[in-house]
Structure 1
Amino acid sequence: MSAHPLPAAALPAAALAEAPLLRRDADGVATLTLNRPVARNALSLGLMAALEAELHAIGQDPAVTVVILAAAGPVFCAGHDLKELRADPSRAHYERTFAQCSALMLAITRLPKPVIAQVQGMATAAGCQLVATCDLAVAAAEARFATPGVNIGLFCSTPMVALSRAVGRKPAMEMLLTGDAVTADRARELGLINRVAPADRLAAETEALARQIAAKSPLTLAIGKEAFYAQAEMGLQSAYDYASETMTRNMLARDAEEGIDAFLQKRPPVWQGR
């Protein structure tokens, strides 16, 4: 598997079935599809590395404004590949696996483009972490979310980082300590996901949200996403100081001038990305 997977349309059927990660671009939206349905889209080292590399490539691609992270088959992501983990029970292998996972999650957060999870089924352990890390998430009504590591003697410590930043402390602890799955509706109440859609409308509603966002200034989206995560880690005074400087820098951008002038002149804006 190369670091940059070919677009799905460019792959023959046999290769399409074997490629662990697929990419499709349309209207400023890149859809990345986890394609290990037989393995419940478990995050093998190869899949995590391929996904991280593709995110870095998208970060440099001016034709893409928004990313959708989807998955093939009935399960969104079952977390780490436990068979791969136990195939080499060494400290070095475990450290390499969890470091790769952390690098992937940071790549999503640091990507200067919004990432939307499209969750059609179960998202467990590092799969739940993946959903919590994405900027937005739309789930099918049948989707379920869990951090069940405690049930097999492996506390979901790295998923905890993303989960505890997406939902309140007590709901996060309940999920982590019990391992119980929560429904899509409950996940929305907790703030883990944004929207719940019927299964047959999931892709359409996710794409509609992605295209709505993709119509905005790509520069403004990049500034806003970076600022959102940066200020969240600061104290209140520091956050306001940082946000004020960010607003000033944003106001000096050509797209802000264009957007405000277009609003005052009652016409659609023409974004230049600068």
Structure 2
Amino acid sequence: MTGTLRVERFEGWARLTLDRPAKRNALDRALRMALSKELEALRGEASAVVLAANGDVFCAGLDLKEREADKAQGDRDSANDEWRALALLLREHPAIIVTAVTGLAIGAGATLVGVSDLAIASDDAALRLPEAALGSYAALSGPVTQPELSRKRAAWLLLSNEDVPAADALAWGLVNEVRPRDTVVARAGELATRIAGYDRAVVEEIKRALDSAPSAMRNLTGSLDFGQAVNRRIRSRTDAADRELARFATEGPKRSSTMDDG
């Protein structure tokens, strides 16, 4: 645990909690570096990482006051480079990143939602990209959210400087679920626990496929070839499929923990 990041490790997964509530969890240099350090430490150890936040606001973006102070002292503004590296680390990390979005996610906070693999939002959550009002394009949060949106929805997000409420974010495909605030972190942990129970090689190859699939799936033949190639990579790393097939033959299908037993 650092002064700005709370770290909790469980069996096969971890939870990283932004812990600057007085600063609305703005990403200053210390928090960016702490996140990068912990994510690197979790390579090969965690199949899933939950990203949560302490306080009413999920993340208010980069710490602009720190950036202004650096400029005033004549220091190089390295925030964009550091933030780009962290965003890429989250997207390319072998673990599944599950974001528990409680409250407002502004700018870089919205990027955290966009680069994650799964996102559970509280019913009072919202996303906002204020960069146009600040004289720039949302250079990270724009590209990670635009592919999920129609052109008009992307334009609204980039230009309106208004909150996109959780219900709209769900309808737009920016989050997976919307739940009461006090259940969000537990739900994210439930998903992380389930994913941690899968064979790690399977999880890593599925995550790899999430980003490589769109370019491969130009037609049906390409789509089928892609699916077979993913499974060949999985089978070259693990015998999980054979083990599960043998278990299925003797025990029958597994039931989801959320499935009603009645």
Normalising by structure 1, what TM-score? Answer: 0.84
Q: Is the 8 A contact 1:20 1:34 kept in 2?
A: yes
- Map 1:113-124 → 2, pairs under 5 A: 113-124=95-106
Deviation at 1:249, TM superposition (A): 2.4
Q: Partners of 1:203 and 1:48 in 2: how far apart?
A: 21
Match of 1:265 in 2: 250
CA RMSD in angstroms comes to 2.2
Q: Is the 8 A contact 1:41 1:78 kept in 2?
A: yes
Match of 2:195 in 1: 213
SS at match of 2:6: strand
Q: Partners of 2:188 and 2:38 in 1: how far apart?
A: 20
Amino acid at match of 1:93: R
Match of 1:12 in 2: none
Match of 1:143 in 2: 125
Q: Partners of 1:93 and 1:249 in 2: how far apart?
A: 43
Q: Is the 8 A contact 1:144 1:181 kept in 2?
A: yes
Deviation at 1:21, TM superposition (A): 0.8
Match of 2:259 in 1: none
Q: Partners of 1:26 and 1:161 in 2: how far apart?
A: 32
Q: Partners of 2:245 and 2:180 in 1: how far apart?
A: 37
Gaps of 5+ in 2: 255-262
- Map 1:23-102 → 2, pairs under 5 A: 23-61=7-45, 64-89=46-71, 93-94=76-77, 96-102=78-84
Gaps of 5+ in 1: 7-18, 270-274
Q: Partners of 2:217 and 2:253 in 1: how far apart?
A: 38
Q: Partners of 1:159 and 1:52 in 2: how far apart?
A: 18
With a CA cutoff of 8 Å and minimum separation of 6, indicate the structure with the bigger relative contact order: 2
Q: Is the 8 A contact 1:132 1:166 kept in 2?
A: no
Deviation at 1:239, TM superposition (A): 5.9
Normalising by structure 2, what TM-score? Answer: 0.87
Deviation at 1:224, TM superposition (A): 0.6
Deviation at 1:118, TM superposition (A): 0.5
SS at match of 1:89: helix
Q: Partners of 1:133 and 1:127 in 2: how far apart?
A: 10
Q: Is the 8 A contact 2:121 2:184 kept in 1?
A: yes
Deviation at 1:185, TM superposition (A): 0.6
Q: Partners of 2:227 and 2:133 in 1: how far apart?
A: 42
- Map 1:85-234 → 2, pairs under 5 A: 85-89=67-71, 93-94=76-77, 96-234=78-216
SS at match of 2:186: helix
